[in-house]
Structure formats: C-alpha cells, structure tokens
Amino acid sequence: MKGMPPARLFLLACRQLWRDARAGELHVLFLALLVAVAASTAIGYFSGRLSDAMQLRATEFLAADLVLQGTAPAEPGQLEAGRSAGLEHASVVEFSSVIATDQDMQLSSVKAVDDTYPLRGELRSADQPYGAETPGGRPGPGEAWAEARLFAALGLQVGDSIEVGRQPLRLTRVLTYEPDRVGDFYSLTPRVVINLADLPATGVIQPGSRVQYRELWRGTPESLASYRSAVEPDLQAHQRLETAKDGNRQIGGALARAERYLNLASLAAILLAGVAVALSATRFATRRLDASALLRCLGLSRHETLALYALQLGLLGLAASLAGVVLGWLAQHALFFLLKDLLAQEIPAGSAWPALAGIATGLVALAGFALPPLAALGRVPPLRVLRRDLLPVPASSWFVYGAALLALGLIMWRLSLDLKITAALLGGGLVATLVLGGLLLLALRGLRRALAGASLHWRLGTGQLLRHPLGAAGQSLAFGLILLAMALIALLRSELLDAWQEQLPDNAPNHFVLNVLPDERDAFAARVGQLATHAAPLYPVVPGRLVAINGEPVRQLVSKDSRGDRATRRDLSLTWSADLPNDNQLLAGRWWSDQPAGELPGVSVESELAESLALQLGDRLTFSVGGIDRETRVTSLREVNWDSFQPNFYMIFEPGTLQDIPATYMTSFYVPPGHERELIELARAFPSVTLLQVDALLAQLRGIIGQVSVAVEFVLLFVLAAGIAVLFAGLQATLDERIRQGALLRALGAGRSLLVRARRTEFALLGASSGVLAALGCELVSLLLYRFAFDLDWQPHPWLLVLPLVGALLVGSAGVLGTRRALEASPLGVLREA
Amino acid sequence: MTAILVARHLSKVVPSAEGALSILEDLSLTLESGDSLAIVGTSGSGKSTLLGLLAGLDLPSGGSVRLAGHSLSELDEDARARVRAEHVGFVFQSFQLLDSLDALENVMLPLELEGRADASSRARALLERVGLGARLRHYPRQLSGGEQQRVAIARAFAADPDILFADEPTGNLDTETGAHITDLLFELNRERGTTLVLVTHDERLARRCQRQLRLEGGRALVAEVLA
C-alpha cells in the first residue's frame, strides 16, 4: 500500500470526527472553542458597534461626520467629490464682524449657515435671553439668532434689528446651543448665526478677510472613506479634514478610554478561552494516545496519523468557530436590544471584521494550544499497543508553552493593536505564572507534612492534590488565571468609572468667563464668589504667538497638521501664575519657587505640545506679544488634564514677565440650576465680560459616559460568564480520573457523603489557592498596565484579598457540581478498567 | 510453502539504571505461511519484546527480521507501517478498541484505512461470523470483555492479513470465555490460512499451536514442534 491519498484521509477524518462527536468525546473542546469564539465575537461586535454609536454621538460636536475646513472656499471639484460619493452636505462660513445697532457696536463671531445645517445634532434657542430652550430650526433669510450676552452687551430685545456689515437683519431668537461650538470656546466673542443666503449682501467678505469655510459632510463610513481618499491627497495648504475624534478632547478622552477598556475585556475573554482550549485540547490528545498507537499498528504512517488528527481538530475548530460567531452575533444583538432605551439612537450595523476576528481567534487558539499535545500523538511509538507505559517522547516544554504564548500574543496584539498592553498583560501573566507556580509547589510540599494527622476527608481531598503536585499546581494556576482575568476586568471597570466621575464631578464648572477687565477683576470675583459654589482662580490672559525656537523661525520647524503646527498658526492664550494649577503635574524641570532666577524669564510648557515641537528644558522661545518679541527659556514641562473643565494653558509664564501688557482675565465656575436671573444680572453688570454656558456640553458628555458605563457593566458580565464556562470546561478535563477514583472508593466502601466532603475540601482548597494566586497576579498585572499602558496612578487594592474566598466558593461549588458524575460512578466501573 | 517470517540472531538491549540490560539474546526462527507459533515464558522473559520485533513495532539491537519478503531493519518507520497495513493483523490483551467507535466502526477502521468501498458489508459479515451480529451498534463500554475481544478479532481479520500477531489474547478473560476466544481464533486462522504468532501464559492455548517457543531470561529454551 502506498501512502494514503489526501481525499481518503480527509474523508476518514470527517467520519472519525462525526463518530467522536456522536460518542460525546468532543463536547468539552467544542464548548471551550464555542465560548472563546462567541465571547470574542460578541465583545468585538459590541465594542465596535458601541464605539461607532458613541462616535456618532460625538459627531454632533462637529455637526457632521467629516468637515473640510479652510480659509478659502473649497474647490468645486472637492464639493463634487462629496456629492458624487453620495454624502449629505452643508456649508458654513465663519468670520468676525462688528455688529452694530443704532447706539452701539460689538465685535462678534458670525456664522452663516445654509438650510441643511446642522447635519448632526441641532441648534437650540430660546425666545428670551436665558429663557427655556427649544431644539431645532435655524435662522431664515433676513433673520439672525444671537447669544444672550450679545443681547446684554447691546441692550437688545428679540425683534430688534442689527446690522451685519451692510445688511440689516432681524433678531428672531436667542441662540443657546450650537453642536459644533464647543471645540474652541476659549477664544470667543458673542456668536451670531445668520442665513448663508444673506452673506453676499453683507459685503463683509473681501479678499484678505479672515474667514473660515467649513464644508460639512454626512454619510456612511464607506462613502466618507471614499470621499476622504479622493480629497485628502490634493488638500490645499490652508485646508484640513476634521473628524469627531480629533474634534474634541473631552469626548476623545472618554471614547479612547472606553475603547481601551472594551479591548482589554475581549483580551481577558480570549485569555480565559485560551485556558479552556488548552485544557480540553490536552485531554483530547491524551485520550487519543492509545488510538494513535493502534492506527500506527494498522499501518498509518506517522505523518498520516498526525494529519488525521490535525484535520479532525481543524474541522472541529472551524465548526465550533462558525457556531460561535453566530452565537456571539446573536448575543450582541440581544445586548443592544436590552440597551435599546438607554442608547436611544441608531446603532451602525458593524462590519464583518469582528466575525472574522472571532473565527481567527478560535483557530489560532486551537493551533497554539492544541498543536503541541497533538504533535505528541504523532510521536506515540506503535509499541504502546503492547506496553501501555510507553509515552511519546515529550516535546520540550519550551516548545509547548512557547507555541501557546505565541498564539495568545498574536491574538492579543491583533485585537488590541497595542504592543504595550499586550506586553504588560502577557509579560505580567507569565512572570506571575512562573513565580506563583513555584510558590504553590513549595506550599503543597508543606501541606503534605502538615496533614499527616488530619481527618479522612481532608486526607482524601488533599491527597488528590498531593498525588500530582505538578498537576495540582497547573490546575490551580489555570483557575487562578480565570479569577485573575475576571478580577482585572472588574478592577479596571471601577477605575474607569472613577476616572470619568473625577473628570465630571457634579460640580464641574458649567460656566466659562472670558474678557474680565483688570479694573473689574476684584468686583467680578466678589460677585462670582456670592453666586457660584465652586470657582477656579482668575487667570490673566494675553494673546501671543510663538514665533521662534532657539532663534529659528518656528514655522520651519513644525510638521504639517501636527499639534505644534496648529498651536503656532494662531495666537495662544498666554498666562502667568505664581502657583502650579491644581490639576497640572510637573513632568520635568522645576517650578519658579524652587529655582534661582535666570537671565531670561521662565516659561512652563504643556508636555504634549513640547513633544510635538521637540522642546527641551533650557530651549529659548520667542513669543510675539502685542507686536513685540519676547524671549523666554523653557524651565519646566507640565502635564495638563484637558478633560477637566478648568481653564488650561499651553504656556504659563513666570510672574512679572508679561505684566506690562494689558491683560484680561478668565475663569470658570459652577452655578447650580435655578440661578438664571442672577446670571443675567451678572452679564448686565459686567457688559464687557464674555459668559459661556457649557451645561449642554456637560450634559452631553454625561450622557455618553452613562451609556458607556452601562456597556462596561454588561461586558463585565460577559467576561464573568466566559470565566465560569471555562471553569467547568477545566473541571471536565479531570473528570475521567475522578470517575475512576470515585468508583474505586465506592468499591472500597466509602459513602457518598465522604466523597462529597472530600471533593468539597479538595476544590475549596484549590479555589482558595487559585484566589491567592489571582490576587497577587492581578496586582502585578495591574501595576504593569497602569504604569506602562494607561498612565494611571497605581495603588494596592486591598479588596483583592477577598479573591481567595471567592475562589474557594466559586471553584468549590463549581467543582462539586461539575464532577457530580464522579459521585454517581458505579463501583462496578472499577472492574471494567484494565 | 514459503517463509513468511524469518528472524536471524535477534537481540534487544535496553539502557537501564544498572547499565545495559539484555532482554533478548541471539534468537532465530522461521515461520512458513499458515504456521502457528506460541511464544511462552514467565513474565519478563522477553515475550512481548519479541512479538514487537517480529511485527515491526520496534527495531532489534542486533540481527534482522524479514516479514513477507521485507527486511524490516532496512525500512523506516513509515515504510514498516505500510508493511503492517498490507500484511499484518493484531489482537491485544487489552483489546485496544476505540471507545468512541461502536463495534461495527471499530471493525471497519482498517478497511476504511485501505479505502475499501465494501467496508461496512465486510465488517458486518465478520461480526456475524464472531457471533456479534446483534450488537453492531454497541460501544466497547457496553460490551463484556469476551465480546470486546471478539470485536478485536473481527477487526484483526478484516483486512485479510497474511500473518496475525496476538498478545495474550485471553489474558484478560475468564477460562471459559478464553476458551471460546481461542476456538474462534483458530477457526478463523484455519479458514483463512493466516499465519499465527501468539504470546501467552496459557499452556492450553500454547498447546494448540503447531510450534512453541519457550523463553527464559531472553533466551530460547526449547522450540518444539507439535504434530
């Protein structure tokens, strides 16, 4: 007989698989794979779609999905590209202009919008200053909507007429909210919205005027992407494309954090599933040692035997993966259905990517964890049919664990695309495994001596563990990993919610104040002090532009569209302060009070901007302030919490540096609801002051965070469910021996209750030691994650000490439940076994 | 008659804690087609080792085995597997049935490995022949020891081997069942003209073979030929 034709081998593999499945041989492995694939698919879909939904919500802050922004009108070709991609379109033109009435005038920022604006979100307006707001609509031709502070500054009423350039317009409503206003509220003059049709008649826009043209687009991700690729290569120097992600730092921060969390949760689910697959694949292989020796006797070559089992596993993996994908897909649908009322908006359907990733996860996990034990099947000596003690030459354990780790790392990296998180998780897990495994072995040795005089069920229960200390250590590690993954996800969840809560405390400032004049400063502070429950200090503000670094013009140093580019194209708000602001953190250098005065005045630079401009401590910066160049030296770098609703600055100067230049002051404060009248009075008393309400933005942000928090809880449940399923799969792997042992003990006259007690002891002990391992491992991994991936402060988590108890209860009850069959084993069974 | 199995100066040495341990020394034998040979001896006398060498499951430290015209020492493991597939059948003390296959499927297995279209009908016929026609769909765990061994015998004869190796075929069975199995083995052996090599403790079983090879400490004591 020549080697077996592949087709026959394949057919044989199918047939064997079918027979094994029918005989109930494959349930465990199939279940483990199913859980792995279903969990990673469901979480993949869920987090993907949720992030799309949040993205969608965040697009409100752009009033569109994508914005083409420039200081000159967009090219006709650029507009045509959008329309032919099937996108909805709106045009917005923004410029500064003096608004005049019969008596007075006020510099304002005017926004001319067409009849399709906004594409995402809505304008909101009131019929009285600080009156109740209603959503929807936009000014028609001949109309203007203005913010309450313009009404206050110019003494206007609704119905009055104002002039924008040469065009008289009637004020019809009070503007209270623009979706796309939030990005730049530091540099604002009162807003007036007019209809785009009135723009030519104003005559305001002349060659050379400073104007922002914004082309708003909305459509499917595919058509947006095709538009993007059509337009992006030929962008003019003055143009750029903006999406929701780069638009708003507060939202961006919340989204990025949620995304990282969801990714991590799916990594944990995969880790769990990996453990399950490893356990059940090993069982698959060991149960086939005899069969593969027999097949060799019957004339199959080593390669054919290997191929036969590889094919079986591959087919099984594929079947389980497909079923898992369907299950995961259904599960995430159910999840969204449950969240329907909370999410209250259209949720994009999601791509095929999570499904493919789910299948790949199943197959890669199977390959990584099942191939090493499978390879052992190929090495079974055929002589084993005569001598059962002959085991295959063991593979180097480095090879076995290396393959599994490689598979795990590959999946994690592919899913998170974050080397740091993967390395922290994998490295931490590995170190924890090695160290704790060693400790555990030592502890088991000690236990053996300590238990010599204990009662029977103790000795029986622990005897099971002590008989194979390595096996027990491995099992305890596996359960420990499960508890670790679940604890880690729970830990990060509360950390995440805390971070959000901190970002948006109930008394987060809901009003920003700009343009407080120096001689009104103290009076204003006193008024705000009476009105507001929480107020930030008043910071002086001087507009100035960074023009040179170490004598070289800065425009030559920055790369296009970088943070540095954006920050040096416009005036920055410069301030000085004797103290480091509360939520800023010094990363390098020293604050003024801790260092001798230098020849040049010092400046403290925000760290991300410093990185983008490649600034070092000691660099010489030249600012153009009020038309005069000023030299400073970088003396410190600061980390700024942009997520906080506090006045934040890129540049803080040493006190005394800018004091000769006229400055205005800014601050922020929190006023509880119900004080609208006092706010109007405040605005009237200080007509030059710009008062910005950010309630709407805060409410929106809270809404998003609320959604994500719910999602996070659900994902946690998912991971828990996966963990428990895996726990059972792990117990199944030890069932054969337990059934044999149970039968033997029954045959020797042991009662059922003794067996139950012994089992309870064994599993509770196993669970408790797993809990200790998990607590230690969780601290180690979280330390690495916080340090290297999340930039969070790490502190010990004392509550992890409950893990041994949780482990004992969970593993104890699951163990007794999962090995029920061993108790039912008939004593006769022992006679059947050779 | 042609020689189907020729062993020349076989020896097997394995490493052990006390240095090299010789389990088989300078053993030669020749079997003609249709012969039956019983290898007997005490535990540890090297019976199973010899069987493994003769069947090509293991390689000798010295000497040679020629099985159905193939010199086993010159073949690699895969080529030896092909020789086994083509010429050899096995019956084991512990039956070695696959737990996940029912009786019929266990017997079909070698036929399926050969890719024979009539696997099912042949296997059925053989199971009928060994008296298990009513238990085709039973799994090994649902069968008694004697029944399991009958399935194993049906499987061994399924692929029409030229030579059948049996390792303590009655070792796990009671006397009466063992006798039935023995009868069955010799009946089939006669019907099909198969050469039979068996290892046994059982003197009655040994006496039914044409020849006996008695091993002690790895050496052949007596090679008797019975009528």
Q: Convert the pLDDT of each residue in A492-540 to its tens digit.
A: 777 777 766 666 667 778 888 877 888 888 888 888 888 877 777 888 8
pLDDT at B223 over 60: no
Asked if A301 and B82 come within 8 Å (Cβ–Cβ), the reply is yes
Comparing A51-55, A72-76, A125-129, A826-830, which segment has the lowest mean pLDDT? A826-830
- Give the integer Cα–Cα distance in Å for A706 and A589: 39
Give the HSE-up count for residue A487: Cα atoms under 13 Å, Cβ half-sphere. 30
User: Is A815 found in the same domain as A796?
Assistant: yes
Of the partner residues B78, B105, B141, the one whose CB lies closest to the CB of residue A19: B105
Of the partner residues A290, A293, A298, the one whose CB lies closest to the CB of residue B113: A298
Residues of B in contact with A295 (CB under 8 A): 113
DSSP A788: I
CB atoms within 10 A of CB A516: 26
Residues of A in contact with B82 (CB under 8 A): 1-3, 299, 301
Residues of A in contact with B115 (CB under 8 A): 4-5, 8
Of the partner residues B48, B82, B100, the one whose CB lies closest to the CB of residue A25: B100
Which two tokens mark B30? 């020749």
Tell me what pLDDT residue A834 has: 38
User: Is A390 found in the same domain as A279?
Assistant: yes
Asked if B84 and A303 come within 8 Å (Cβ–Cβ), the reply is no
Question: B160 — contact with chain A (CB < 8 Å)?
Answer: no
Comparing A263-272, A315-324, A588-597, B196-205, which segment has the lowest mean pLDDT? A263-272
Quick one: what percent of chain A has pLDDT higher than 90? 7
This prediction has a pTM of 0.60
- What distance lies between CA A468 and its chain's CA centroid? 42
> Under a CB-based contact definition with an 8 Å cutoff, are residues A110 and A66 in contact?
no
Which two tokens mark A515? 């343009």
User: Is A595 found in the same domain as A659?
Assistant: yes
CB atoms within 10 A of CB A657: 19
Which two tokens mark A295? 């097949």
- Give the integer Cα–Cα distance in Å for A362 and A382: 32
Asked if B81 and A12 come within 8 Å (Cβ–Cβ), the reply is no
**pLDDT tens column, B34-83:** 899 999 988 878 888 898 899 888 889 999 999 999 999 898 877 888 88
**Chain B closest CA to A32's CA: distance in Å?**
20
**Residue that wins the pLDDT comparison between B6 and A301:** B6
What are the distances in angstroms from CA A26 to CA A312, A317, B143? 11, 11, 22
Highest mean pLDDT among A593-602, A788-797, B106-115, B160-169: B160-169
* Predicted confidence band of residue B110 (pLDDT cuts 50, 70, 90): confident
Q: What is the total count of domains within chain A?
A: 4
Tell me what pLDDT residue A292 has: 84
Asked if A385 and B81 come within 8 Å (Cβ–Cβ), the reply is no
- The residue in chain B having the minimum alpha-carbon distance to the alpha carbon of residue A302 is B78
User: Is A77 found in the same domain as A215?
Assistant: yes
Residues of A in contact with B172 (CB under 8 A): 834
**pLDDT tens column, A210-252:** 688 999 999 888 888 889 888 888 887 778 887 765 545 555 5
Find the DSSP H helices in A544-664: 563-569, 607-612
- Give the integer Cα–Cα distance in Å for A351 and A69: 29
Residues of B in contact with A12 (CB under 8 A): 112-113
Tell me what pLDDT residue A111 has: 92
Quick one: what percent of chain A has pLDDT higher than 70? 74
Q: Maximum distance among all alpha carbons in chain B?
A: 54
Residues of A in contact with B88 (CB under 8 A): 297, 299
Strand partners for A553: A548
User: Is A558 found in the same domain as A500?
Assistant: no
Last residue of a domain, one of A368, A390, A417: A417
User: Is A436 found in the same domain as A408?
Assistant: no
- The domain defined by B3-225 carries CATH number 3.40.50.300: yes
Question: B141 — contact with chain A (CB < 8 Å)?
Answer: yes
Residues of B in contact with A298 (CB under 8 A): 84-85, 90, 109-110, 113, 159
**pLDDT tens column, A643-659:** 666 788 889 988 887 87
CB atoms within 10 A of CB A448: 14
Residues of B in contact with A19 (CB under 8 A): 100-102, 105
User: Is A427 found in the same domain as A351?
Assistant: no
Residues of A in contact with B110 (CB under 8 A): 298-299
User: Is A39 found in the same domain as A169?
Assistant: no
* Predicted confidence band of residue A471 (pLDDT cuts 50, 70, 90): low
**Chain A closest CA to B169's CA: distance in Å?**
11
Asked if A294 and B51 come within 8 Å (Cβ–Cβ), the reply is no
**Chain A closest CA to B160's CA: distance in Å?**
12
User: Is A200 found in the same domain as A150?
Assistant: yes
Residue at A285: amino acid letter: A
pLDDT at B168 over 90: no
* Predicted confidence band of residue A399 (pLDDT cuts 50, 70, 90): low
Q: What is the mean pLDDT of residues A309-318?
A: 88
Residues of A in contact with B83 (CB under 8 A): 299
Gyration radius (Cα) of chain A, Å: 34
Last residue of a domain, one of A417, A452, A485: A417
Which two tokens mark B35? 């012969």
Q: Give, in degrees to the nearest 5, the angle at Cα A194 between A192 and A198.
A: 140
Its domain, for residue A647, covers 512-692
Tell me what pLDDT residue A196 has: 93
Asked if B167 and A290 come within 8 Å (Cβ–Cβ), the reply is no
User: Is A4 found in the same domain as A30?
Assistant: yes
Residues of B in contact with A30 (CB under 8 A): none
- Give the integer Cα–Cα distance in Å for B84 and B47: 20
Asked if A386 and B57 come within 8 Å (Cβ–Cβ), the reply is yes
Asked if B90 and A297 come within 8 Å (Cβ–Cβ), the reply is yes
**Beta-carbon pairs below 8 A across chains A and B:** 91
Nearest to A205 by CA among A216, A191, A194: A194
Which two tokens mark A430? 């590995």
Residue at A42: amino acid letter: A
Average pLDDT, chain B: 86
CB atoms within 10 A of CB B158: 25
Nearest to A549 by CA among A459, A638, A609: A609
Which two tokens mark B190? 């006669």
- The residue in chain A having the minimum alpha-carbon distance to the alpha carbon of residue B95 is A385
Strand partners for B14: B21
- The residue in chain A having the minimum alpha-carbon distance to the alpha carbon of residue B105 is A19
- Give the integer Cα–Cα distance in Å for A507 and A526: 19
User: Is A725 found in the same domain as A578?
Assistant: no
User: Is A425 found in the same domain as A397?
Assistant: no
**Chain B closest CA to A329's CA: distance in Å?**
33
Residues of A in contact with B58 (CB under 8 A): 381, 383
**Chain B closest CA to A297's CA: distance in Å?**
7
> Under a CB-based contact definition with an 8 Å cutoff, are residues A319 and A24 in contact?
no
Residue ranges of chain A whose CB lies within 8 Å of a chain B CB: 1-5, 8, 12, 15, 19-20, 23, 25, 287, 290-291, 293-303, 381-383, 385-388, 832, 834
Handedness of CA A378, A379, A383, A387 (dihedral sign): negative
Which two tokens mark A323? 């079923």
pLDDT at A789 over 80: no
Last residue of a domain, one of A247, A269, A284: A247
Question: B25 — contact with chain A (CB < 8 Å)?
Answer: no
Long-range interactions of A74-81: CB distance < 8 A, separation 24+: A74/A213, A74/A215, A74/A239, A75/A236, A78/A215, A78/A231, A78/A234, A79/A215, A81/A227, A81/A230, A81/A231
